Amino acid sequence: MENTQYFEYNNGIYPCPLCIAVGRDWHNDDFDELCNRQLEDDVRARTYDTQTKEGKKCVLIRFANKKAITMEVVAHEALHAALFIFDYIGCEVTATTSEPAAYLLQWIARGCEDVKLGKTEE
């Protein structure tokens, strides 16, 4: 079993925190079994629309390892995460309402970069 640590980010605007974890075999009892399954060998990351065992809504991005935290993978997973958050608050993203989505994507990408670079507060 790999590191059970994850990093939680709250931006003060959206009521759904972002959690980021690293490890193909990552496991943490704060999350349900779906989030704790081993990532397949060909999967670099996966995003889950989930909640903690305490019932707290969150979005979890799991990267297989720090090498998987690349610009293309972060962009892909950040879109999934943002859409889960917007779905949770009932907000439709369109071309005319894209500015909040752009800021949310930026915030998610920054969190992923901070985890990759070890700029996380414990």
Local confidence pLDDT in tens for the 122 residues of the chain: 456 799 999 988 989 999 999 999 999 999 988 999 999 999 999 999 998 888 889 999 999 999 999 999 999 999 999 999 999 999 999 999 899 999 999 999 999 999 999 998 65
68 falls within a domain: yes
Tokens of 1: 């079993």
Q: What 3-state class would DSSP assign to 97?
A: helix
72 falls within a domain: yes
84 falls within a domain: yes
Best CA proximity match to 108, nearest among 86, 62, 75: 75
1 falls within a domain: no
Count how many residues are written for the chain.
Answer: 122
43 falls within a domain: yes
88 falls within a domain: yes
122 falls within a domain: no
**Angle between helical axes of 71-89 and 98-117 (0-180°, round to 10):** 130
100 falls within a domain: yes
Query: 104 is in which domain, residue-wise?
Result: 7-117
pLDDT confidence of residue 122: 53
Q: How many domains in the chain?
A: 1
Structure pTM?
0.93
